[in-house]
Structure 1
């Protein structure tokens, strides 16, 4: 019987497929359009400091309800981006800021836009 790791990045138990788990986490976190919208908003602020989750939700809500967007940011999107090391999310204060390699995030967002056209 073949056993697979829980991470999905390894093949049969003990055999690595050569992928970097941190890279896989980051790419998975950046795959969602709402998360990319959130990151664009943070990048536009260019290091102005932490931003309130409610303020971000209103910026990226489009025609959606800002309260629903805020809820999804707090419970799904921000924890995922924080776990990947892309943002620093303080759930207690309800604030978020960019973390990690900002130029790499900008490059990924640019590449994602190019693939949509």
Structure 2
């Protein structure tokens, strides 16, 4: 298993971290361990608490069958995924604890873990699943910087420039065309369906109003300022990672 280091802030790290939160059971497990850290929690006790939450009953009412199913799910599906993402680890006493991953301490992520969000589990899973892709994160970061309606072509040019770590004037037309096709056929429909932006097919324009979860620190990992007249807000700088080098 190729485990992501907690301090890793690469594209792969972000993909793995956001993907791990795209599953409501993994969010539940992570929330339980987060609440019990830094002391951690023993695996059998964790499975009981996990079964209690997922079956909506007190821990004392969990049946042996529910506990066993939860234990198998934790050990063979949820824990390996969260450990691989660098969010959890097993300490020397065989207790499950959170790591020092950059996710923890981020207000938006903390709010999700402690249940301080109005979003449903389905919506949260959709949002985290959608942003577990570097191009979509870059796209959203560009829109956050601009805070205005833009054409698909303009968006594609800026995304292409960010990814190439160059300016919008230096990026090749061929590269812009490839990115634009990818946005139109793959990424924009997904983001539109997720409710994270409005894609006007007739006008070929994108409108973006933002979302609280997308203000996560270090949403993307690029550091290039690709547009000289793009005066990013402090929030946009945090989202793009340009203010956290």
Question: By the TM > 0.5 criterion, same fold?
Answer: yes
Cα 1:98/1:9, change in 2 over 3 Å: same
Corresponding residue of 1:89: 199
Correspondence 1:80 to 2:190: yes
Corresponding residue of 1:41: 142
Corresponding residue of 2:214: 105
Cα 1:113/1:59, change in 2 over 3 Å: closer
How many residue pairs get matched? 98
CA contact (8 A) 2:188 2:199 kept: yes
Counterparts of 1:55 and 1:112, CA distance in 2: 21
Structure 2, unmatched stretches of 5+, are: 1-22, 26-53, 56-119, 165-173, 222-240
* 1:99 CA displacement: 3.5
Q: Which consecutive aligned stretches of 4+ in structure 1 deviate over 2 angstroms post-superposition?
A: 111-114
Cα 1:83/1:25, change in 2 over 3 Å: same
* 1:112 CA displacement: 3.5
CA distances 1:34-89 after superposition (whole Å, capped 9, x unpaired):
1111111111112x3x1000001111113471001001101110111111111111
Structure 1, unmatched stretches of 5+, are: 1-7, 11-16
Query: How high is the TM-score relative to the length of structure 1?
Result: 0.70
The structure with the largest alpha-carbon Rg is 2
What SS does the corresponding residue of 1:99 show, helix, strand or coil?
Answer: coil
Query: How high is the TM-score relative to the length of structure 2?
Result: 0.35
Counterparts of 2:209 and 2:176, CA distance in 1: 24
CA contact (8 A) 1:29 1:35 kept: yes
* 1:111 CA displacement: 4.5
Corresponding residue of 1:5: none
